[in-house]
Amino acid sequence: MEINSKQKKIATDGSVTESSSRSAYGTQVDHSQFLNSDGYAQAVDIQASNPQETQVEPVGGQKRMLPEKKRSAKWY
């Protein structure tokens, strides 16, 4: 099987191969890397913030506004 020279190479396991795991809908994902031997999703540790604290983030898209008119978003 000859691969079209215009098709990009696909990186797998740290190496680049010319496998054809692409379709008309995009690159196919090998879901087995996210599953354990029983077929369930592997446990992933996440870092969550303190739910009792309010977090303030600056709102984007306010480059030319006066400093006193700039807004911020509060995450509860």
pLDDT in tens, 7-26: 555 555 554 445 556 667 77
Confidence (pTM)? 0.32
DSSP alpha helix (H) spans, 1-76: none
- Give me the residues paired with residue 72 across strands: 58
* Of residues 69, 68, 75, the one with CA closest to residue 51: 75
Collapsed DSSP state (helix, strand, coil) of residue 2: coil
Question: pLDDT for 37-49, tens place per residue?
Answer: 888 888 878 888 8
Q: CA-CA distance, 69 to 22, in Å (whole number)? A: 49
Question: Counting every residue, how long is the chain?
Answer: 76
